[in-house]
């Protein structure tokens, strides 16, 4: 994640600045503010602002006038209750804003989470940097035979080398052509004075999906946790999971009680359907039930068995 000297200086200036406030702050998150956390080969994630803490969740649930005099354990218990019973609005009282640098194909997955405010780097206005995501060899995998959205066995040897060469070659060539189409030098002047150059909004359509973009992304805690539940899941695509896992660490620093409840009741939990729950009761009564007579599809049965483990 190479940052330019100017970017490093800008980040350091932001981290050194201090503002007096009466609103609640979280020391652990304050320590992370503006810091660029590396993601993938050229990406990063930065917290640039936030509002609220665990106390704001509790305050909203109780509709109190201040922090109150309740013990931390009581507040944590209430947060666990809210998470367990999916009372979402108190979690919406906390908000956070990120600056994210990510490949375009990851951004296209990320933007599916629509309950957020987004402002992306404009390739209509500015020229995109020559930075592309190239997977590490251990993340090159064949198509899964059982999951149309997933990966199978890792590629190796000559096949893996050929894939990496193609990815690098195509991304580099497309960016070369992008620069030719623009006909712009680093200072914005024409490279070839005899040519006009194509408009930036048109030249960008030649770029590959592994080109890096950047955006500011602001959301509330409820929707952020929904993002993490889907994107930090082991079945999520690796490239977006890298960002989601870093966000989860940030959530742990920001709202530790909510983070603990989320891990307990969402991330590490499994929801049984009505039929699954009846099957579990039958098993507890000592009955033997096979998939064909269970009322579950093969996929549901596999998920049910995986959740129960050796039971």
Which of the residues are catalytic? 231
Name the residue with tokens 């200072």.
187
CA dist 219 → 14, 15, 192, 223 (Å): 21, 22, 45, 7
What Cα–Cα distance (Å) separates residue 262 from each residue in 1, 49, 232, 259, 309?
30, 22, 12, 5, 22
> 223: which residues sit within 8 A by CB, 6+ positions away?
92, 113, 115, 116
Structure tokens at 275: 């039929």
Spatial CB neighbours of 209, under 8 Å, sequence gap ≥ 6: 103, 104, 105, 108
User: What's the CA gap between 273 and 47, in Å, rounded?
Assistant: 37
Dist CA 169 CA 200 (whole Å): 22
Instruction: Say if CB 247 and CB 228 are below 8 A apart.
Output: yes
Q: State the residue for tokens 């005899």.
A: 194
97 near 49, Cβ under 8 Å?
yes
Q: How far apart are CA 140 and CA 46, in angstroms?
A: 27
Q: In angstroms, rounded to a whole number, what is the distance separating the alpha carbons of residues 61 and 88?
A: 10
How far is Cα 262 from Cα 3, in angstroms, rounded to an integer? 33
Q: Report the b/e string of 88-115 with b at 16+ CB within 10 A.
A: eebbbbbbbbbbbbbbbbbbebbeebee
């Amino acid at each position: 994640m190479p940052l330019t000297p100017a970017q490093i200086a800008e980040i350091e200036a932001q981290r050194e600045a201090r503002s007096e406030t009466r609103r609640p702050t979280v020391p652990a998150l304050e320590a992370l503010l503006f810091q660029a956390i590396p993601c993938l080969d050229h990406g990063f994630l930065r917290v640039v602002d936030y509002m609220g803490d665990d106390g704001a969740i509790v305050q909203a649930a109780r509709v109190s006038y201040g922090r109150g005099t309740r013990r931390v354990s009581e507040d944590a218990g209430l947060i666990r209750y809210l998470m367990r019973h999916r009372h979402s609005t108190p979690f919406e009282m906390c908000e956070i804003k990120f600056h994210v640098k990510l490949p375009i194909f990851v951004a296209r997955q990320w933007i599916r989470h629509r309950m957020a405010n987004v402002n992306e780097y404009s390739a209509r206005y500015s020229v995109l940097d020559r930075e592309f995501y190239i997977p590490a060899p251990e993340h090159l995998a064949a198509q899964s035979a059982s999951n149309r959205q997933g990966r199978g066995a890792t590629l190796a040897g000559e096949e893996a080398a050929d894939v990496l060469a193609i990815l690098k070659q195509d991304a580099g060539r497309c960016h070369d052509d992008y620069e030719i189409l623009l006909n712009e030098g680093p200072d914005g002047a024409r490279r070839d004075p005899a040519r006009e150059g194509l408009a930036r909004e048109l030249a960008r359509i030649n770029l590959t999906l592994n080109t890096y973009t950047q955006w500011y992304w602001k959301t509330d805690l409820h929707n952020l946790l929904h993002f993490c539940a889907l994107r930090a899941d082991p079945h999520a695509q690796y490239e977006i999971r890298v960002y989601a896992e870093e966000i989860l660490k940030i959530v742990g620093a920001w709202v530790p009680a909510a983070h603990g409840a989320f891990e307990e009741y969402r991330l590490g939990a499994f929801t049984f359907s009505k039929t699954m729950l009846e099957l579990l009761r039958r098993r507890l009564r000592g009955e033997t039930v096979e998939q064909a007579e269970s009322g579950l599809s093969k996929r549901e049965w596999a998920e049910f068995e995986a959740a129960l483990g050796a039971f």
